[in-house]
């Protein structure tokens, strides 16, 4: 069931979202060649803990996957789309791109967002992938307003991404959130204008385009968590949690770096 949030709910969601944003802005400052994804994970968890929140992903379980997710963040490099597990053995290299997805729980309410970062100097092709993915998110947020539909959001992403010659991840979607990390409705990155659930003021959703430079097929890694492009092409991921209002979308995870 889709829940409409009241002001008392939003006070906690804004705080949870601000912590997420602070983590993503911190990561923009520390990403560089030579550090490990475990280093990023620890920096994120330390900040989350200092703010009185808990990392939403750590210990998260999914039916069919025998181990709970062990990290505070998802750290996905190059051809990894989402759900990469942080590791002491995974070093960032010059020219990589890395997607970091962060979730927090504060006062029983959740925030969720993601950014893709360049590691040092990256290729023109990888920069364009990042730029197109970010712009598709911005266009989707512009459609996230009372009276529009989930299809309007998905169409904004799909039309821009496909129009620029990139592929879309269609098996994984955005979602509602609030007192649970994942709530109805699903928010696909494709769709038809005017179709799907009608957006109403008070709804809170996470919009998260996942874009590939190659074909749209995906595979799951041997750890059962990480999702990768099937052809080895690069992927980028941006996400914001937003509140639907009568006047448009209020961004609840206001990361600033990009």
Q: Is 171 known to sit in a ligand binding site? A: no
Q: Is 182 known to sit in a ligand binding site? A: yes
Place of tokens 């804004």: 14
Q: Is 250 known to sit in a ligand binding site? A: no
Rounded to an integer, what distance in angstroms lies between the CA atom of residue 115 and that of residue 257?
Answer: 9
User: Could you write out the DSSP letters of every residue in 80-137?
Assistant: EEE-PPP-TT-B--TT-EEEEEEEEEETTEEEEEEEEEE-SS--HHHHHHHHHHHHHH
- Show the CA angle centred on residue 241, arms to residues 119 and 19, nearest 5°: 65
Contact 107, 212 (CB under 8 A): no
> Which DSSP helix (H) or strand (E) runs through 237?
strand 235-237
Q: Is 83 known to sit in a ligand binding site? A: yes
Q: Is 208 known to sit in a ligand binding site? A: yes
Binding-site entries for substrate: 83, 182
Binding-site entries for a divalent metal cation: 101, 112, 175, 208, 239
Binding-site entries: 83, 101, 112, 175, 182, 208, 239
């Amino acid at each position: 069931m889709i829940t409409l949030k009241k002001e008392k709910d939003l006070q906690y969601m804004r705080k949870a979202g601000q912590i997420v944003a602070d983590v993503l802005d911190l990561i923009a400052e520390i990403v560089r060649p030579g550090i490990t994804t475990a280093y990023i994970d620890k920096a994120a968890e330390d900040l989350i803990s200092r703010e009185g929140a808990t990392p939403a992903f750590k210990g998260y379980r999914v039916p069919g996957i025998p181990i709970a997710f062990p990290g505070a963040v998802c750290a996905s490099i190059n051809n990894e789309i989402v759900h990469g597990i942080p590791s002491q053995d995974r070093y960032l290299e010059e020219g990589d791109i890395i997607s970091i997805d962060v979730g927090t729980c504060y006062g029983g309410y959740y925030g969720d967002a993601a950014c893709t970062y360049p590691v040092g100097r990256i290729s023109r092709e990888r920069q364009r992938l990042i730029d197109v993915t970010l712009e598709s998110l911005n266009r989707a947020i512009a459609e996230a307003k009372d009276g529009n539909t989930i299809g309007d959001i998905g169409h904004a992403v799909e039309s821009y991404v496909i129009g620029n010659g990139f592929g879309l991840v269609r098996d994984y979607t955005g979602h509602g959130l609030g007192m649970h990390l994942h709530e109805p409705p699903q928010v696909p990155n494709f769709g038809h204008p005017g179709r799907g659930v009608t957006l109403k003021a008070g709804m809170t959703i996470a919009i998260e385009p996942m874009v590939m430079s190659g074909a749209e097929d995906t595979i799951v890694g041997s750890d059962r968590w990480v999702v990768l492009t099937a052809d080895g092409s690069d992927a980028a991921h941006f996400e914001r949690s937003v509140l639907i209002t009568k006047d448009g979308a209020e961004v609840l995870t206001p990361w600033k770096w990009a």
